[in-house]
Chain A
Amino acid sequence: MIAAEPQLLTGGEAVAHALRQIEPDVVPVYPITPQTPIIQTFSSMVADGQAHTAIVNVESEHSAMSAAIGSALAGARTATATSSQGLALMAEVVYIAASMRAPIVMAVGNRALSGPINIHCDHSDSMLVRDSGVIQLFAESAQDAYDLTVMAPRIAEHPDVMLPVLVCQDGFTITHAAEPVTLLRDEEVRTFVGPYELPQPALDARHPATRGPFAMPDYYFEFRRAQAAALEIALDVIMDVAHRFELLSGRRVGPYEGYRLHGADHVIVALGSSAGTVKDVVDELRHDGENVGLLELHAFRPFPARDVVRLLGGVRDVIVLDRADSPGGAPPLAAEVAFALRGSDALVRSHVYGLGGRDLHPEAVRDVFRGRASHYIGVRDGDECPA
Chain B
Amino acid sequence: MAQLKDWQELPPGGLVTPADALQPRTGDWRTAGRPVVHYESCINCLLCWLYCPDSAVELDGSTLSGIDYDFCKGCELCVEVCPTGALVMTEEAA
- The chain A residues found within 8 Å of chain B, CB to CB, are 73, 99-102, 162, 199-200, 207-213, 215, 218-219, 221-223, 225-226, 229-230
- A221→B7 CA distance, assembly (Å): 8
Q: Give the Cβ gap from B89 to chain A, nearest Cβ, in Å.
A: 28
Contact across chains for B17 and A215 when beta carbons are under 8 A apart: no
Contact with A along B61-94 (1 / 0, CB 8 A): 0000000000000000000000000000000000
User: Which residues of A lie under 8 Å from residue B8 when comparing CB positions?
Assistant: 226, 229
Contact across chains for A210 and B16 when beta carbons are under 8 A apart: yes
User: Which residues of B lie under 8 Å from residue A99 when comparing CB positions?
Assistant: 13-14
Contact across chains for B1 and A211 when beta carbons are under 8 A apart: no
Contact across chains for B4 and A219 when beta carbons are under 8 A apart: yes
Task: Pick from B1, B10, B13: contact of A100, CB below 8 A.
Answer: B13
Contact across chains for B10 and A226 when beta carbons are under 8 A apart: yes
Using A199-B12, A219-B4, A229-B8 as known contacts, list a sample of 12 further A-B pairs with CB atoms less than 8 Å apart, ordered by residue number in A.
Answer: A101-B13, A208-B17, A208-B18, A210-B17, A210-B21, A213-B14, A218-B4, A219-B10, A226-B7, A226-B10, A226-B12, A230-B12
- A183→B41 CA distance, assembly (Å): 77
- A212→B17 CA distance, assembly (Å): 12
Contact with A along B1-44 (1 / 0, CB 8 A): 10011111010111111100100000000000000000000000
User: Which residues of A lie under 8 Å from residue B18 when comparing CB positions?
Assistant: 208-209
Contact across chains for A200 and B15 when beta carbons are under 8 A apart: yes
- A208→B16 CA distance, assembly (Å): 9
User: Which residues of A lie under 8 Å from residue B4 when comparing CB positions?
Assistant: 218-219
Contact across chains for A209 and B17 when beta carbons are under 8 A apart: yes
Q: Give the Cβ gap from A107 to chain B, nearest Cβ, in Å.
A: 23
Q: Give the Cβ gap from A194 to chain B, nearest Cβ, in Å.
A: 19
Closest 7 CB pairs of A and B: A101-B13, A210-B16, A222-B7, A225-B7, A101-B12, A100-B13, A226-B7
Task: Pick from B1, B12, B14, B21: contact of A215, CB below 8 A.
Answer: B14
User: Which residues of B lie under 8 Å from residue A210 when comparing CB positions?
Assistant: 15-17, 21
How many contacting A-B pairs (Cβ < 8 A)?
53
Instruction: Tell me the nearest residue of chain B to A224, going by C-beta.
Output: B7
- A264→B21 CA distance, assembly (Å): 58
User: Considering only CB atoms and an 8 Å cut-off, how many residues of chain B contact the other chain?
Assistant: 15
User: Which residues of B lie under 8 Å from residue A213 when comparing CB positions?
Assistant: 14, 16
- A99→B12 CA distance, assembly (Å): 9
Instruction: Tell me the nearest residue of chain B to A202, going by C-beta.
Output: B15
Instruction: Tell me the nearest residue of chain A to B4, going by C-beta.
Output: A218
Contact across chains for A162 and B7 when beta carbons are under 8 A apart: no
Contact across chains for B1 and A229 when beta carbons are under 8 A apart: no
- A218→B23 CA distance, assembly (Å): 15
User: Which residues of A lie under 8 Å from residue B16 when comparing CB positions?
Assistant: 209-211, 213
Determine which residue in B1, B12, B16 has the highest number of CB atoms from chain A within 10 A of its CB, and name it.
Answer: B12
- A100→B4 CA distance, assembly (Å): 20
Determine which residue in B8, B10, B17 has the highest number of CB atoms from chain A within 10 A of its CB, and name it.
Answer: B10
15 contacts between A and B (CB under 8 A): A100-B13, A101-B12, A102-B13, A207-B17, A208-B17, A209-B15, A209-B16, A212-B14, A218-B1, A219-B4, A222-B10, A226-B8, A226-B10, A229-B7, A230-B12
User: Which residues of A lie under 8 Å from residue B15 when comparing CB positions?
Assistant: 200, 209-211
User: Which residues of A lie under 8 Å from residue B17 when comparing CB positions?
Assistant: 207-210
Q: Give the Cβ gap from A100 to chain B, nearest Cβ, in Å.
A: 5
Q: Give the Cβ gap from A326 to chain B, nearest Cβ, in Å.
A: 29
- A151→B5 CA distance, assembly (Å): 34
Instruction: Tell me the nearest residue of chain A to B18, going by C-beta.
Output: A208
User: Which residues of A lie under 8 Å from residue B13 when comparing CB positions?
Assistant: 73, 99-102, 162, 211-212
- A102→B13 CA distance, assembly (Å): 8
Determine which residue in B8, B16, B18 has the highest number of CB atoms from chain A within 10 A of its CB, and name it.
Answer: B16
Q: Give the Cβ gap from A103 to chain B, nearest Cβ, in Å.
A: 10
- A102→B8 CA distance, assembly (Å): 19
Contact across chains for B5 and A222 when beta carbons are under 8 A apart: yes
Instruction: Tell me the nearest residue of chain B to A100, going by C-beta.
Output: B13
- A271→B4 CA distance, assembly (Å): 42
- A221→B8 CA distance, assembly (Å): 12
- A209→B11 CA distance, assembly (Å): 11
Q: Give the Cβ gap from A221 to chain B, nearest Cβ, in Å.
A: 8
- A208→B8 CA distance, assembly (Å): 22
